[in-house]
Amino acid sequence: MFDFNLVTIIANIPALMIGFAFHEFAHAWVADRLGDPTPRSQGRLTLNPFVHLDLFGTLMALLYRFGWAKPVMTNPHYYRGDKRRGQIMVSLAGSVMNLIVAFVVMLLWFVTMLWIQGSEWYDIIYLVFESIVYMNLGLGVFNLLPIPPLDGFGVLSGLLPERFAPQLNMVEQYGMIILIVLLFTDILGKVLSPAVFGILLVYQKIITLLLTPFLG
């Protein structure tokens, strides 16, 4: 999963900007729709990637394809309706958006490759599309892990009863340390890579079914 290939890293830059921008915008948009003015007031309701980048999370994403951006600050007290359900929805929004982006870009990838066959730009365009798809799948799956500060921890916090709050607070204090250890021991790669490739395979089958009538 660790990759120092310069060409791959360069191709991952636009992929990362798209992945992070849509991920964080989704968090901000859902929170805003639920009535929380915080993301809008802090300028996070935007697809501008430079607003959302976190230095360390960006480096991890470039090298590992699993990373994170600057968290969107929210205040669940503003959420309309069930606050815990709102927390789960906001937490899930980023990963769901990444999975949607990955599918749409993968569909465009297939169509574009058929259209430009034989072009001198084929290999470069192929690599860019590939990077965007894999980056978004990686971000989507990685951020679902129930480890602070990732979104999966927000989902877990929203699902567990209030009596578990002290234990969750304790785990939150050591979340970043746990995350760094898992990243540098490549345990996450062994766990998450099968999930990413499994989703990729499902997407391929769906897109093939969608495009087959037009390719006959």
Residue 93 within a domain: yes
Amino acid at site 103 = F
Cβ contact 129:54 at 8 Å:
no
Residue 172 within a domain: yes
Residue 116 within a domain: yes
Residue 183 within a domain: yes
Decide if pLDDT at 213 tops 70: yes
Residue 1 within a domain: no
**Domain tally for the chain?**
1
Q: How far does Cα 188 stand from its chain's mean position?
A: 15
The label of the residue with tokens 């259209």 reads: 115
Catalytic residues: 24
Query: What string of H, E and C letters represents the secondary structure of 46-104?
Result: CCCHHHHCCHHHHHHHHHHCCCCCCCCCCCHHHCCCCHHHHHHHHHHHHHHHHHHHHHH
Residues 109-128: pLDDT tens digits? 999 998 888 888 899 899 99
Q: Residue 4: what pLDDT? A: 58
- pTM score, whole prediction: 0.90
Decide if pLDDT at 27 tops 50: yes
Mean pLDDT calculated for residue range 199-215: 93
Largest CA-CA distance found in the chain, in angstroms, rounded: 62
Q: How far does Cα 209 stand from its chain's mean position?
A: 26
Q: CA 185, 157, 87 angle in degrees (round to 5)?
A: 115
Amino acid at site 5 = N
Cβ contact 23:90 at 8 Å:
no
**Which string of b and e fits 70-99 if b means at least 16 CB within 10 Å?**
ebbebebeebeeeebebbbbbbbbbbbbbb
Q: Could you say which DSSP state residue 117 is in?
A: T
Residues 147-187: pLDDT tens digits? 998 999 999 999 998 898 888 888 888 888 888 788 778 77
Cα–Cα dist 159/123, whole Å? 45
Residues 28-71: pLDDT tens digits? 999 999 999 999 999 999 999 999 998 888 887 777 666 678 99
Least confident of 52-56, 135-139, 212-216: 212-216
Structural domain span for residue 169: 6-215
Decide if pLDDT at 205 tops 90: yes
